[in-house]
Structure 1
Amino acid sequence: MATLKITDENFDTEVLKSSKPIVVDFWAEWCGPCKMVGPILEEISDEMANDVSIAKHNIDEEPNTPTKYGVRGIPTMLLFKDGELKSTKVGATPKSDIVSWIKENI
């Protein structure tokens, strides 16, 4: 399953009203660590498609939502469940750490 593209406009519909847990990756084109995390999240999106959705939000194109949720550095991943922020993970980390973090919070 491909990752979803989240914008300030569709955030409430796609994230807060999601029927299953969703991880939103806040990133930017110029961010080197974001480019490392991106392919990992694509793999996780395929492997865990039944359990969690993965979404990407470009902070340069859509700055309002990251500001609302206090995103100060990237990559930052926010995990939402039942319309509420459950957990935050900041920085580029190995796939195993991201998978463990997701499993702990869904």
Structure 2
Amino acid sequence: MARLIVVKRIAFNVAPSIGTVLLVEGQRYEVSALNPHQRRDGKPTTLITWRGYCADCGQPFEQTSALTAKGLNRRCPQHRSPGHPVTTGGRQRKRRFLAARPPASPRLG
């Protein structure tokens, strides 16, 4: 039986193998395809196609990322809600982030 590779973030020097699993706060994504791509500057790279399940409806959906990325969408295109965290932990991080920001300065004249 093949050993399952599990990662916690998207930061690869070389393309991961198909079947590699990414866990994001309990949500699971699996590499379903690797596609060669040419960047605007002409350098060749690889795009990773991830298969995951929507945090709202549970339906499968696919999305693409580069070899390094900050994160993936947690919901399918139908339920996408930018700025609305999926989990309680995400809500808490958002509150801490907003609380740490300095208040906006009043407009002058």
The alignment's TM-score, normalised by the length of structure 2, stands at 0.28
Higher helix fraction: Structure 1 or Structure 2? 1
Q: Would you tell me which structure has more strand in proportion to its own residues?
A: 2
TM-score (ref. length: structure 1): 0.29
Which structure has the bigger radius of gyration? 2
- Relative contact order: is structure 1 or structure 2 higher (C-alpha 8 Å, sep ≥ 6)? 1
